[in-house]
């Protein structure tokens, strides 16, 4: 069963200009993804953003994976002779 990221990710016009954030925080998904891309570990991110949990970071990754699947073109299926 895929990880259900939906309870962790919200958007509201009055919080961070409507950007996607971790529920109950003002930490944007973009911030978490950028931190991971820079090589930070989950533990380092949690130390920098104590309002986050390991599950909320997992939710960001799950959301990114689903988003990537939706945006990437599907390769052609090879025809076997």
Tokens (6 digits) for 40: 């930070």
Per-residue pLDDT at 44: 98
Q: Any idea where the domains of the chain sit in the sequence? A: 6-67
Only one residue has tokens 């997992």, namely 58
CB 45 within 8 A of CB 52: yes
Q: What is the pLDDT of residues 28-81, one digit of tens each?
A: 999 999 999 999 999 999 999 999 999 999 999 999 988 877 665 656 666 665
Domain 6-67 -> CATH class: mainly alpha
The whole-number pLDDT of residue 23 equals 97
**Greater confidence, 24 or 3?**
24
């Amino acid at each position: 069963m895929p990880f259900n990221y939906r309870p962790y990710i919200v958007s509201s016009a009055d919080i961070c200009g409507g950007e996607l954030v971790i529920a109950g925080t003002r930490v944007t998904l973009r911030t978490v993804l950028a931190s991971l891309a820079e090589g930070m570990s989950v533990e380092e991110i949690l130390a920098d953003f104590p309002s986050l949990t390991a599950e909320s970071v997992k939710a960001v990754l799950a959301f990114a994976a689903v988003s990537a699947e939706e945006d990437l073109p599907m390769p052609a299926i090879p025809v076997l002779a």
